[in-house]
Each structure stands twice: as C-alpha cells, then as structure tokens.
Structure 1
Amino acid sequence: MGQSGADTTSVKVNELQEVVVTDQFRRGNVPAKLFPVSRIDRQTIDNIAGNTLADVLHYSLNINVVPDPQSGRSTIRMFGLDGDYVKILIDNIPLVSDNGYGNNIDVTQINLDDVERIEVVEGAMGVLYGDNAVAGVINIVTRKGTEGKWKIRAALQEETVGGEYDWSEQGRHIQSLNIGHNLTDRLYVSAGFNRNDFQGFFNNYRGKDYFKVQGSSVVNDGLRGHEWYPKEQLNLTGGVYYTAPGMSLYYKFGYFDEVLDVYNHAINARVENSNYRITANDRQYSSSRFMHQLYADGNLYHMNYMLSLSFQKQERDNRNYVYDVGERREQEVITDIKDQSSNLLFSKGTLSRIFSGSGFFDLTMGYELTNQRGYDASASGYSSDIVENRLENYDVFTSLHITPAARFSLYPGVRLNNNSMYDNHWIWSVTAAYEFKKDLTLRSVLGSAYKTPTFEQLFYYFVDANHNIQGNPDLKPEDGISALLALEKESELKDVRLINAFKGFYYDIRDKINLTLVNGDNSSGSFRYMNLDRHRILGASLENTLYYNRWSATLGLGYTGISQQASGETDMRDDYLFTYTANASVGYTIPSIHTTFFAQLKYNGKQPQYVQQATDAGDPVYVKGEQDAFTWLDASVRRSFFDRQLELTAGARNLLDVVSVNTTAIAGSAHGAPPGNILLGYGRSFYLKLLYNFKI
C-alpha cells in the first residue's frame, strides 16, 4: 500500500487473467490461454479479512455460496450447478470431505492463511480433472516460498455475529500464526496455526442454558439453542519445499479439526422430589481431517514431468447426550460413535512437451488414480445397516496442442475414465483460442458433462412415520454437453486500463440426478434420487474491470436460465426460468497514509423454480415457485504501519442486514406451496483484524 503502482493491484477481484490453467502445468506445454481463469489474489483476501473460502466466494459473479445453518455446512453453486459439479483442489489435489472427495466441499472448512491465490477455472474440465468437473474447478494455490530469510505473520481478528458479541460466548474469534523460513536458497520450510471460534447466531433463540418457567410449570416454547449452531475450527499446516534448476519438490502436511454443537430447541421437564428436572437431548459432531501431499515436477530430457501423491483421512464422530439445563452440566452420554470415515489415496502424473521440437504439434499425456474407502452411518438413517463403500478410479488422459496458424490454437483432449462402479467411459473436450489482435482473444471450450452419482445419492436411507427419502443404487451416471464461449479485450490509454470479458455458456445434461417425489405408502408420498431425462442451462455474463491511478473498479452482469424435465412426466414444464445477478467493487488507495478503502456488492435476483406437489389423488403436479431477491454488501478499510510490519483492517459484512428470504419454491399439497423461509446470513456484522507482518 505504500506505492501507487503496487497498491492499485491490491484491490483486484476476479480479474480475468491469461494464465496457465493451474500450477499443475506451469512447466508443461498446456498454454497460458487454454481456459478463462479468474484469480483472487492475496491482497484481495487481506482487504476483506477473509479467513475461509466462503468469505471470499460470495461476490464471484457466476458462483453462489449456499449455507445450511442446521448442518453448519456451506457449499457452492457455479453456473446454476451445485457443488457436485465443481471440483475444489488444493495445489491441484482434490480435497477429501464428509461427502467424498473434490466435490460438494464445505467451503467454511477451507482456511486461507497459507494461500497465495485462488484460481477459478470455468468450462468443461473433465479431461484434466476427471468425472464431476463439469462446471469447472477452484484451485487453491498455497505459498511455497518467501522473500528474505524469515517471514512471520500473526493475526487476531474479532467479529460480531449480527449484533451479537462478547469476548467469550458471542461473536467470531480468530487467531492465527504462520512462520516461513528459507533454510537455504533452495530449501524453504513453513508451519501454520489457525483457530476460528464461531459462537453461533442466536437471533431469536436464547442459548443452551435457556428454559422458561411460567407460574409453577416449565414451558417448552422452542426457544432454546441457536439459529446458526456454534462451531470451533482448528487448522495446522506444515511444509518442506525444495527447488533446483529444472526441478522442484515439496511435501505438505495438514490437519483440520471441527466441533459443531447442536442444541435441541425442545426441552424435557419432569418432577423429581418436588423439584423440576429440566434436560435436553443434544448432539455434538467432531470432524477431523489429515492430509499429506507430495509433489514433484521437472525436466526429463526435452520433456516436462509432474507427479503428485496424496493420502487423506476424514472422520466424523457423533455424540448424543443428555444435558441438564437447570444444573448446566452434561448428565449422560447416550451414544458416542464414529459415524463417518473416509480414506483417500490419490496420485496424478503428466508428461508434456513430448514433441517440443515441432512448431505445429505437441502432446501431453497423464494418468490419475483414486482409491477411496469408507462409510457413512448417518446416510443409513433409520436403517440398522451401516453402508460401507469403496470407490476407485483408474484414468488415463491425453491432450493435443495443434497450432495451424500463428494466432489460432486448438487443444483436443480425451480421458478414459475407469470407475469401480461403472463401465469405462470416454470424457472428451475441445478447446480453441484465437487472437484477433494482441488485446482481443476468443476462447471456446466444448466438452462432455460426465458426472457419477455421489455416495448419498446411491445409498441414503431415511424412513420413519413422517419421512421417506431414499437413495437409488441403480442410478446411472449423468452425461451431456458443456459449452463455454469467452471473448476478452484489454485496453490501455494513458493511466486507464480496462478489461472486458463476455461469456456465454450452455449445458445439456442427460439423466441428471434429482430428489423426486414418487407415489408411496406414505400419505405425503416418498422421495427418491432419480435420473431425470434432461437438464439444460443457458446463460451469459459480462465482466468489466477498470484501473485508473489509485482507483480500481469492477462491474459484472449475469443472466442464467435453467430448464429441466423428468422422464415420463408429461405435465412438467421445461421452459427456461431465468435469474439475474450483478456484482460490483470499488477500491481506492492513498499511498501517503498507506491506506486502502474497499467495497463490494452482489445482487442475487429472484430465483424461479418448478416444484413437485402432491395432489389429493396422490399424483404429482408442477407449479412455479420463486425465491425472493437479496443483496450482499461489504466494506472495509485497511492501513499499514511501521513499513508494513503492522496492518489494521476494519470492516463490515452484510451491511444490508440479510438474514433470510421468503420462497414459494418448496414442495406442498395440491392446494399450493406454502410460503417458506430460507436462512442465508446472520445479519450485519463488524470486524477488526490486527496483523503483525515480520520479515528478515
């Protein structure tokens, strides 16, 4: 923030860059203009005091963060497709979670302390990243070195949760420490610690020790507990990095621990010896994840190679206990089981620049192996059987680089996907890039939209007197076409730099999996995961970035329509239902006082949707529902002191105080869907972050 030239870049948000797809191919021949790539750099993360991936993705134009306050998880949607269709990677290696690996990741569990930048790659990525990389990938690139001998970053961050805050039992409290040391010019080591203590959002609830006495009776008014459950997260990281001419090698270790407390809104009251005994049946989820990564790349004769190996272990413990509300103590443990466990072994390798001597033709070849074993007891619902599962992939892929003309490049690719549950399947893509002139580039990405079913979709079972929700082991993989067209132009005039990017996208997915209402013995029908015949997405977006002296600004507009029709459902509407989105940001730097002001906005328009409803005769009908529009708005100011050794960031999240929105896009009876309410945020919150940045 000290110099104008440097600080202007510090407020970049999702600027389109012509960069290598990801670091995986930085030494390979996969060109810098292969895919449209948006980058969120370290300066932007610091400007908004981002601690988790959820903090920084809210404002991306074609991405939505979807929270679930009851489970404590937040997943993403890209181009209208949910997290099952987007792969999240750390240094190009998919991350294991309680829902598998790579897809449908809880983005609140991904810490950003050790992150250099975030790459959002859009388009059909199945050839390079396998099944379920339909909408694109999000690659989190971690730091692998530092300037000077030592670098120490220590931070304290305090946030309100809505209007709720105190030092211990309300608000959000974050502490972090990161140390990096260059042992030699070629050898770098690092270690990090982060604690994120979210005390929950009470809203109209009264906490775990609340109960109401009216007269001589205990009233069960349902106000105990929280609107958003409290959770505490711990992250530990470590790494050793070695670089030499023509080769690099690193090992990384990561440990994550999360404790989520679920306090029952209902209480139990009984009389014992003329006294009330007030208890509640509460639950605690404890999740842990170990991650080991080994990576190497370098030169082999005239070719480049890359090799990665990862072992990850994810576990979740489920403890049910009786809490004595009156005496404020745990009374009895009912069950304490490990209800989810997953081991992932992953390896990937590529060999590129195989025909580097040719100016017309080149080739990249690679393999990818995954072996995941584990179980999820909670997916068995009320069944007594615990489902154990094994999922293996043995894939090989190749990508060509053809240059028929100086300004035109063509990149066809194909992958043979060998899945342990399904037959071999070919995943393909064709990417083309044409430079009309130096500052105007057209890219197109066409490929298959191949996705295999998730564990939940295959095996989920939740049946009782009031529920009937089941997976389907006979599900087929989804497939179809994914198309993306991107036109980018960069203009410069004196002190003004302008970047314009237009994207058009289309998905036509066959056999899309959805939770569908079917006839059953239950009076309200039963729900099954089923393959739908067709799911189409059509849309366009326009993103503009402006730099002028100390100013930076972005403006984006998006328009996305979704159409779907289930097999055999002649009454189902299949016309497109469109949603508008818009985002904007503005930043201004004052070099003389080392200060940057930053604000960002995201408008999410009304979201229409056709939903199934049961008739009196038991047959489903389709009606149009709608979720109300809402807007996110954040603002911050960041100032550095003592030659940037000390930084202070103050800001506000969710300035428009969004907590929930109304929706009619929910299932109901034949007489129409009742209005519902969807929780999205926890109100207007303020934060203060103090960062100590020490270098030698």
Structure 2
Amino acid sequence: MKCSCCFITTFLMYGWAVNAQVDSLTPSLKDINLEEIVITSQIDPQSLNKSVNNIRVISKEMIKNLGAVTLSEVLNQTINITVTPNSSTGASTVSMFGLNAAYFKILVDNVPLVNENGLGNNTDLSQISLNDVEQIEIIEGAMGVTHGANAVSGILNIITKKSAKNTWQLQLTSQEETIGSEYKLFSQGKHIQSFKASHNVNEHWFVSLGADRIDFQGYLGGQLGSNYSFNDGKRGYKWSPSQQLQPHALISYTKNNLRLFYKFEFFDKAIDVFYPTVHSTYNETLGTYKYSKDERYFTDRWYQHFNATGKIFNGLQFNLSTSYQVQKRAIETFNYNITYDFERDNVKKVDQSMHVLYTTGTFSDFFKNNQLLNLQIGYELVNSKGFSIVDAELNSKKDINKTINNYDFFSIADISINNRFSIRPGLRYSFQSLFNNQYSYTLGGKYLFEKGYEMRAAVGKSYRTPNFQELYFRNIFDGHYFVGNENLIPETSSSFETSLKKTTTFYTSLLSNQILFSINDIKNRITSAYVGDMGATPMYQNINISKYRSINLSTTNQYKYKDFNLALNGSFVWVSQLIDNGSFKTSDAYLFTYSLGGNVSYFIPKWNTTFATYYKFTSEMPSWEVGSKQYVISKLGSYSWLDASLRKGFWNHQFETTIGVRNILNVGDVNRSRINEGGGHSVASNILLAYGRSYFLKLTYNLNFN
C-alpha cells in the first residue's frame, strides 16, 4: 500500500515537473482529441476545457473495454464513488464523500430517473443498461441550481445515442459470464443478449428499436440452491437469481434549427429469494413432502421522454423536456414444494410505487452575438404520486398515498470578463407543496493562466428534501417501532470547491494533472432518533438533528501517447458527523478513508486490438453505528478491484469480440469489524460485496449499409 501511495505521488510530481519543462515545445496532436464535448449543466454544449464545472467523462470506449452491462460495473472503477450491492435484493447503490444515494442524482438525457421512493436518487444501478449509451458525465459537488433538490454530492448524466451514420444499422450482442467459478450454459452464470436496429428514414426522420436481456442465475457460494431439501441452512443462494428485460424505442425529427425526439423504455425485473428454512408436512394427495416459504420481487418501470430543441424569436435557443415515468415494486409470496417442484398459495401485491410527471425547460442566447454574456433561464415542474404499504399498530397494515409537487425557476449566466477569466453565478427558487419554499445559489469561476494552467473555484448552497420512505415509513411489530416523520424539513448544505489543472501537449503526447479540494457542510440532517417508549418498546422516529461535514482532496492524472493511455487517480476524504439519537450521540471526530485507482490501455492498429486494465483500491471505511450503550465505530475492511480485457475487431469492425476478467483479485466477503462496547475488543462480521473472480466473453455483430 505504501508503494501505491509513493507511486501516485511520484507520478503527480513528475507530471508537474514535466509540465514546467515542455511548454516551449510545439504541439503536434492531430491524433489527440482536446475538444471532448460535454452537455451536462452547460448553457450550450461545449468542449470540456471551456466548462466552468469540473466534469468527468466516462467514454463509450471505457464501457466497451470493461465489458460493462450495467452502470454498477462502470462505477466500480470510478474514483470518489463507492458502489454498495445487496446480495438479497440484487440492488446496487452509490455513495460519494460518505453520503449515500439520497444525495446523488442520476439522470438519463438530463431527466432524473424514477424509482419507488422518488426521482433521481436512491437509484438501483443494476437497473440501468449501458447498451445504448454514448457517454456518461459526472459532476462532483453541489448542483442544486441546475438540478434542484437532492443534487448535494453530485450528479451523473447518461447520454444515450440518438443518431446513426448509416441508413441502416443493426447490432446484435451476446455475452456469457461466469459468476465466480460457477457457470453452465443454461443453469448457472450470467447470460446477456441485446439487439438494436436503427434506420435513417430520410434526411429528417430517424428511428431505432432495441431490447436488452440479462439472465443472472444467482451465486451459490457454498449454498445448494432452491431444490435442496434439508433444513441445515444450506438451501438457497448467497446472491439471489434475477432476470431483467428492457425494450426501448426512439423516434427523432430534425429540420433546420428544430430537433424533436420521443424515447420510450420499459424495464421489467424479477428476483427470486429462496429462504434456507425447510418445512415438512403431509397430505393425503401428495403424502409426505418438504416445502419452503419463498418470495419473488418484481420491478416494473415505464419511461417516456419527449424533447424539443431549437431556436425561436430571432435566435433565442430553447430546450424543453417532458417525461412521464412510473416505477412499481410488487412482492409475491408462495410456498415452494421442494419434493415435487411446484409452487402454490401464490399471493402477489404491489407494495410500493411512484408516478412522476416531470417537465423542464431552458431558454438561452438572449443577447445575440454577445461574446461577454450568455444568460439562461429555466423552469422545472415535478408532480410525484407515491404509494406504499406500511406497518400499523396491532400487526396490521395500511396504505399510504401521497402527492408531492414542486415548481422551480432558475437562472444561470456565463460572464466572460476577458479571454482568460469567466464567472458563472446562478440562482434557483423552489415552490414546495409539502415543505417551506427552498432556494439554491452558486458562484463559480474559471481562470486560464499561461502555459496551460487552469484554475476553477465555486461556492454554493443546495438542499435535500426528505424522500417518501423518510416521511412515511412505518416498521412496527413486537418489540420494534421505527417510523418516518411527516414533519421533517429539508436538509441544507453549503459547499466550496477549488481545483488546479495543467494540460501540456508535446509532439504526439498529452499530459494532464489536476488537484481538487472541496468542503461540504450539511445542517438539519435526518436521523432516526429515540423519542420515548410504548410500554416496554423503545420508539424511534426520523428527525432533523444531525450535522455533517466532508473534506475531499483528490487528484487525477492522465498521459496519452498516440494509442497508449495511462491514468492514475487518488481521493482522500475526511468525514465528521455529529449524530444524536436522543439517547447518546457521536463525537465530531473526523473519520478518514481514501481510494487509489488507475487504468492503462493500448490500441494496436495493425491487429485492431485494444488491451485494457483497470485497478481501484478502497481503504478501510470507518462509520458510526448505534450500539446498546453508545455510538461505536464500525470499519469495513479495505479491498482492491482489478479488471482486464482484450477487445478485437474483425472485418472492418463488423464483428467485435471482447474477452475479460472481472475482480481478478477475487474479492468476495469483506470483513466488517466493530468495537465491543463491553470490553473494547473488535467484533467481526462479513459483508458480501462481490461473488469473486469472473470471466466473460462478449460477441458483437454490426451490420451497416446505405
């Protein structure tokens, strides 16, 4: 580990030293793209180096090199981001700077993605297919002005493909993957198929149609599957099987300055949960047989997005989107007859759902031919209808149906003081139906020094509104009382960020180094707190009581030479949390964690082959955990993630094959230790983060013709 730290420090120092020496060299970089275009949070699409925001781009080449099928497989290799999977539900969520997925917003084509508890946050990464993605853009830090509530730690915007170069394009993909060491063609492993057909009808109309399917057969990991009939704890899976299907369609129209598109997507996923307890019984028809009480979870999502961009009124630019999304989760309980292999007593019901009507629009280019000022004004309207079945007193259930609306208006401006210095102020005001009205502001700036140095800085204020679960959740049964709180108020956060970047080009090489420092303070943070007793049962309720501060220092370093790419990155995070649950509270001591990452790829034109390797180390992660007498520190052990692949094209890229290995270092169960309140010794348990080393083979066939 010391070697890794020394290596990344040496690389950074070497990069700045080389930067100081090579600026006199004449650039000659026809093969190096310095104009990577980004659109997230921009008034107009522009090159990455002109953006006031710090934006990281995950290209489709990286997605291909990783053989990534879902978003979680890409973010596993992204610095500053931690992916947390759940082996029972199959869900994977993201955290950044110690803040969970409630603070990080995920969008598709600038529209937040719905889930059962809200819009944009707590998104299950395993539900997002990457087959139709052009690139992914990530902005760290508070983005409340441009993206509203809950964009506190950052945003991720998935840009999908909306055009094709040829009249007809057909793509067929098949991918086979082991689950650890487990694989059989039909009964074990992961089996992925995707299909997409695109057609330029004429110079104005374009249509595409496709579907993605993922058949995950589950990870046994020493368990003995659903048909095992002994009651010794060996029945079932360590990672539950799931099947998901995702058809999608797009139609677009382009003429002059007008562009319209309509996108439709349906997502369906089923997860089978087989419990270890086995029961024996008898009836006259079947005789003696064994059965288990199992469950199946269904998730359905309907996604519709209509977008219009163009110019009106003497060059005024507009961009309007309207989206209607629905996500539902249903639970099916059943008795599985293990002896005779059939189900009975099936009962299925929807226990959570969210219906969202979302519309947003921006208007810009008010001052035609003005190179000094570009103003954008915008709006966002959200109508959310949530449903959940929750616990009530006396072991009963009740339905919760609630509607939450917000109507937001915002404005940002890009002001060029001169050709080196620009600032970006912004303000958003949100009219809330359930809470007091909220506001966000930001002030960012960029200064371009001589010799390729770029400095950026920003201050801002954002807010997070309580989600549906925090407001209305109720878990009440014998000895347990945990409930939400309809009187919660939004959390507020203030942030500061600054960065220094140096990009140097010399001959056919590019060297880029960046250091970023940020601070984020959160007030009125929501915590489950002790509020009294109901008989002998302690009652806990969500209240606004905690404080949070994170300090982040990160560095990204990239070197390109012709077809060779090397990147080394590091992130160091200090988190202070003051949590008070009414009985006892934490100290405000800073807990430290860090991660180091890097990747290297090399393309051999003669062979039409790319070799790529990605590595990420995550240090021990401490966090506060409530105990019986006090808060104690729990630590998740450190682990390393290493992926490698070889990708080769045949017949002028008409056929492409990728072979690779995920999780080469065989991460599975990671130790979680906790201080014993009685004697101060460490108490250990294991958290299943992955299912070990796996191998994949991906075959893609592209048929293009005019």
Name the TM tier (shorter chain). over 0.9
Corresponding residue SS for 1:204? coil
Q: Which residue of 1 aligns with 2:525?
A: 512
The partner residue of 1:469 within 482, 487, 490 is: 482
The partner residue of 2:514 within 472, 487, 501 is: 501
Cα distance in 1, alignment partners of residues 301 and 84 from structure 2: 22
Q: Which residue of 2 aligns with 1:160?
A: 178
Residue 29 of structure 1 contacts residue 352 of structure 1 at CA under 8 Å; is this kept in 2?
Answer: no
Corresponding residue SS for 1:385? strand
Q: Which residue of 2 aligns with 1:50?
A: 68
Deviations for 1:288-338, whole angstroms, at most 9, x for unmatched residues?
A: 1111111011112132111111111112221111110111111222x2212
Corresponding residue SS for 2:93? strand
Cα distance in 1, alignment partners of residues 598 and 47 from structure 2: 35
The partner residue of 2:404 within 368, 374, 391 is: 391
Corresponding residue SS for 1:84? helix
How far the C-alpha of 1:560 sits from its partner, in A, is: 0.4
The partner residue of 1:611 within 625, 640, 643 is: 625
Confirm whether residue 654 of structure 1 aligns to residue 663 of structure 2.
Answer: yes
How far the C-alpha of 1:343 sits from its partner, in A, is: 1.1
Corresponding residue SS for 1:189? strand
How has the CA–CA distance of structure 1 residues 8 and 439 changed in structure 2, closer, same or farther, with 3 Å as cutoff? Answer: closer
Q: Which residue of 2 aligns with 1:636?
A: 645
Corresponding residue SS for 2:427? strand
Query: For residue 456 of structure 2, what is the amino acid of its counterpart?
Result: R
| Structure 1: runs of 5 or more not aligned | 10-15, 213-219, 616-620
Cα distance in 2, alignment partners of residues 24 and 361 from structure 1: 14
Corresponding residue SS for 2:397? coil
Residue 578 of structure 2 contacts residue 585 of structure 2 at CA under 8 Å; is this kept in 1?
Answer: no
Corresponding residue SS for 2:432? coil
Q: TM-score, normalised by structure 1?
A: 0.92
Cα distance in 2, alignment partners of residues 29 and 681 from structure 1: 37
How far the C-alpha of 1:136 sits from its partner, in A, is: 1.4
Q: Which residue of 2 aligns with 1:342?
A: 354
Q: Tell which deviates more after alignment, 527-536 or 630-639.
A: 527-536
Query: For residue 454 of structure 2, what is the amino acid of its counterpart?
Result: T
Residue 519 of structure 1 contacts residue 526 of structure 1 at CA under 8 Å; is this kept in 2?
Answer: yes
How has the CA–CA distance of structure 1 residues 185 and 421 changed in structure 2, closer, same or farther, with 3 Å as cutoff? Answer: same
Q: Which residue of 1 aligns with 2:247?
A: 236
Q: Which residue of 2 aligns with 1:130?
A: 148
Q: Which residue of 1 aligns with 2:277?
A: 266
Confirm whether residue 200 of structure 1 aligns to residue 193 of structure 2.
Answer: no
Q: Which residue of 2 aligns with 1:307?
A: 320
Q: TM-score, normalised by structure 2?
A: 0.91
Residue 18 of structure 1 contacts residue 33 of structure 1 at CA under 8 Å; is this kept in 2?
Answer: no
Cα distance in 1, alignment partners of residues 70 and 296 from structure 2: 22
The partner residue of 1:538 within 529, 544, 551 is: 551
Confirm whether residue 278 of structure 1 aligns to residue 290 of structure 2.
Answer: yes
The partner residue of 2:684 within 672, 675, 685 is: 675
Confirm whether residue 172 of structure 1 aligns to residue 183 of structure 2.
Answer: no
Deviations for 1:200-245, whole angstroms, at most 9, x for unmatched residues?
A: 1111211111012xxxxxxx21211111111101011101112222
Q: Which residue of 2 aligns with 1:13?
A: none
Residue 7 of structure 1 contacts residue 589 of structure 1 at CA under 8 Å; is this kept in 2?
Answer: no
How has the CA–CA distance of structure 1 residues 26 and 461 changed in structure 2, closer, same or farther, with 3 Å as cutoff? Answer: same
How far the C-alpha of 1:472 sits from its partner, in A, is: 2.0
Q: Which residue of 2 aligns with 1:112?
A: 130
User: What does residue range 206-245 of structure 1 map to in structure 2 within 5 Å?
Assistant: 206-212=224-230, 220-245=231-256
Residue 424 of structure 2 contacts residue 443 of structure 2 at CA under 8 Å; is this kept in 1?
Answer: yes
Q: Which residue of 1 aligns with 2:593?
A: 579
Cα distance in 1, alignment partners of residues 45 and 662 from structure 2: 40
Residue 8 of structure 1 contacts residue 589 of structure 1 at CA under 8 Å; is this kept in 2?
Answer: no
How far the C-alpha of 1:506 sits from its partner, in A, is: 0.7
How far the C-alpha of 1:8 sits from its partner, in A, is: 8.2
How far the C-alpha of 1:611 sits from its partner, in A, is: 2.4
How far the C-alpha of 1:664 sits from its partner, in A, is: 2.3
Deviations for 1:181-212, whole angstroms, at most 9, x for unmatched residues?
A: 11112221111111000111111211111012
Query: For residue 504 of structure 1, what is the amino acid of its counterpart?
Result: F
How far the C-alpha of 1:27 sits from its partner, in A, is: 5.9
Corresponding residue SS for 1:226? coil
How has the CA–CA distance of structure 1 residues 536 and 320 changed in structure 2, closer, same or farther, with 3 Å as cutoff? Answer: same
Deviations for 1:144-197, whole angstroms, at most 9, x for unmatched residues?
A: 111121111101100000111111121000001011111112221111111000
Corresponding residue SS for 1:108? helix
Residue 124 of structure 1 contacts residue 445 of structure 1 at CA under 8 Å; is this kept in 2?
Answer: no
Q: Which residue of 1 aligns with 2:19?
A: none
Deviations for 1:367-408, whole angstroms, at most 9, x for unmatched residues?
A: 000101120225779542111111111011111222233311
How has the CA–CA distance of structure 1 residues 307 and 656 changed in structure 2, closer, same or farther, with 3 Å as cutoff? Answer: same
How has the CA–CA distance of structure 1 residues 488 and 249 changed in structure 2, closer, same or farther, with 3 Å as cutoff? Answer: same
Confirm whether residue 247 of structure 1 aligns to residue 258 of structure 2.
Answer: yes
Q: Which residue of 1 aligns with 2:699?
A: 690
Cα distance in 2, alignment partners of residues 666 and 371 from structure 1: 45
Residue 31 of structure 2 contacts residue 508 of structure 2 at CA under 8 Å; is this kept in 1?
Answer: no
Residue 31 of structure 2 contacts residue 562 of structure 2 at CA under 8 Å; is this kept in 1?
Answer: no
Q: Which residue of 1 aligns with 2:429?
A: 416
Cα distance in 2, alignment partners of residues 24 and 359 from structure 1: 16
User: What does residue range 435-446 of structure 1 map to in structure 2 within 5 Å?
Assistant: 435-437=448-450, 439-446=452-459
Cα distance in 1, alignment partners of residues 605 and 291 from structure 2: 59
Cα distance in 2, alignment partners of residues 659 and 7 from structure 1: 41
Confirm whether residue 287 of structure 1 aligns to residue 294 of structure 2.
Answer: no
Cα distance in 1, alignment partners of residues 88 and 652 from structure 2: 44
Cα distance in 1, alignment partners of residues 389 and 607 from structure 2: 56
Residue 566 of structure 1 contacts residue 572 of structure 1 at CA under 8 Å; is this kept in 2?
Answer: yes
Deviations for 1:69-97, whole angstroms, at most 9, x for unmatched residues?
A: 12211010122211111111110011111
State the aligned residue count.
673
Cα distance in 2, alignment partners of residues 498 and 168 from structure 1: 47
Query: For residue 634 of structure 1, what is the amino acid of its counterpart?
Result: D
Instruction: State the percentage of identical aligned residues.
Output: 34
Deviations for 1:109-137, whole angstroms, at most 9, x for unmatched residues?
A: 00111111111122221111101011111
The partner residue of 2:574 within 548, 557, 561 is: 561
Query: For residue 608 of structure 2, what is the amino acid of its counterpart?
Result: H
Corresponding residue SS for 2:464? coil
How has the CA–CA distance of structure 1 residues 491 and 513 changed in structure 2, closer, same or farther, with 3 Å as cutoff? Answer: same
How has the CA–CA distance of structure 1 residues 505 and 562 changed in structure 2, closer, same or farther, with 3 Å as cutoff? Answer: same
Residue 380 of structure 1 contacts residue 459 of structure 1 at CA under 8 Å; is this kept in 2?
Answer: no
How far the C-alpha of 1:515 sits from its partner, in A, is: 3.5
Q: Pairwise CA RMSD of aligned residues?
A: 2.5
Residue 608 of structure 1 contacts residue 665 of structure 1 at CA under 8 Å; is this kept in 2?
Answer: no
How has the CA–CA distance of structure 1 residues 380 and 597 changed in structure 2, closer, same or farther, with 3 Å as cutoff? Answer: farther
How far the C-alpha of 1:628 sits from its partner, in A, is: 0.7
How far the C-alpha of 1:593 sits from its partner, in A, is: 1.1
Confirm whether residue 331 of structure 1 aligns to residue 344 of structure 2.
Answer: yes
Cα distance in 2, alignment partners of residues 468 and 576 from structure 1: 31
Cα distance in 1, alignment partners of residues 32 and 414 from structure 2: 36
How has the CA–CA distance of structure 1 residues 154 and 438 changed in structure 2, closer, same or farther, with 3 Å as cutoff? Answer: farther
How has the CA–CA distance of structure 1 residues 447 and 233 changed in structure 2, closer, same or farther, with 3 Å as cutoff? Answer: same
How has the CA–CA distance of structure 1 residues 585 and 527 changed in structure 2, closer, same or farther, with 3 Å as cutoff? Answer: farther
Confirm whether residue 596 of structure 1 aligns to residue 610 of structure 2.
Answer: yes
Q: Which residue of 2 aligns with 1:257?
A: 268
The partner residue of 2:167 within 139, 144, 149 is: 149
